[in-house]
Amino acid sequence: MQLPYSDTLEVQYLCRIFDNTSECYKFFWFQAIISKVLEGKACITYEELVDEMIADAWYMVVEYHLNLGPRDTLESLVHYLQKISQMKSSEKKENIITYLRECKEKEVIKRKRILTKNVPYRIQAPFMDKVKGKEWDVSESVLISKINQERRLMYYFDALNGMQTKIRLSSEWVTYIHLNQEIIKGWLQYNIIIYLQKRNPSVPGIADKLYPPQERKLEKVKKYWKLLLTIRPVHEIYGHVQLSDKDMSIDHFVPWSYVAHDEFWNLHPTTRSINSSKSNHLPDWNIYFPQLARLEYISYEMMWKYDAVYGEFEKCAKEHLNDNMVRKKIYQKGQDFISFANALEEILQPIYLSAKNCGFKGWIYKDVIEDHESNNSLLR
């Protein structure tokens, strides 16, 4: 993916800023610059940029459990901030920025400063091909002085002043960013995805995990389950609460934060409060999968018994069943419970275990471990 040509700017050097990237900082630093420029700023402090970097990384690290790099300072800082702040994994970005702006915790300040030691300078290395090797290994103040003597860079520095050090964007680059913002953001997103895929090879849906989680569109699935309620009582799987059409929420058994899809076989009804309590945790497999299998089998039986239910199932399938092989394996007609449960387990368990390996925490409703030996025996 190429950036738009310019008669006055050396865009070919900008295209190379991610050539040598062993850590994630360059992506987040550049993304923060783009965000601030599009807000109308051309003079930006280190503090503003680092706070933006942390807020942008927050969801990838806390909500989606992505690995940002080996011994990554930004990733460890995000984990530390979540621990001391108790902010939600889906916290609004403006709240994260406000917290960072007001936080005076010494360890946070120290770690934020570490993030500014190299990337503000080295990211422009492609523009300065005459500066090589040990010439970079000098103090920040000397490096700033040296960089400020270069020509045609994206930005230059005010005198070193800790986190209040400022970068000043060239007016030509500010204009270029505004004129080509959509292409630049697409190019940046593409490079971030490539970087993250290499470090998270078993994680699905990387492209959907660059930004805060959005509300899922599950109205067709909810309508399907509400129709079932008109035929027979339905109890959700975590607290055995009988569901009503006024208090129903659709849960992803393996959290959307990991699967990044809304496939029908991973969705089931629960109450709003229980769904909120579960959040993006993994329900205990031994306790809850047998119950999920029984609930889904009830749905399966009714789908083949009632034309109206089958009609709603087909409407869901157009949006929420995208693999014909999976559909045939789980939903083919004539299966008994054991066959159905085994088919569902074959599809769901590898994804569950992969999410567990990525750091998604286990969860039991109200921390009560129920006797589930009889449930397990049904699946043997």
For 248-252, 290-294, 328-332, 368-372, which range has the lowest pLDDT when averaged over its residues? 368-372
Is the pLDDT at 50 greater than 60, yes or no? Answer: yes
Q: What is the DSSP string of 147-194?
A: HTTSSS-SEEEPSPBTBT-EEEE-HHHHHHHHHTHHHHHHHHHHHHHH
Is the pLDDT at 374 greater than 70, yes or no? Answer: no
Which tokens hold the place of 104? Answer: 């005076």
Tokens 């964007």 — which residue?
Answer: 169
pLDDT tens-digit map of 80-89: 999 999 899 9
Is the pLDDT at 14 greater than 90, yes or no? Answer: yes
Mean pLDDT of the 175-196 span: 96
pLDDT tens-digit map of 106-135: 999 999 999 999 899 999 999 998 887 888
Nearest one of 35, 3, 39 to 176, comparing CA atoms: 3
Determine the pLDDT at residue 251: 97
Nearest one of 263, 275, 297 to 379, comparing CA atoms: 297
Task: Give domain limits for the chain.
Answer: 11-209, 219-377
Torsion of CA 271, 369, 340, 270, to 10 degrees: 0
| CA 235 – CA 295 distance, rounded (Å) | 8
Q: For the whole prediction, is pTM greater than 0.75? A: yes
Determine the pLDDT at residue 372: 43
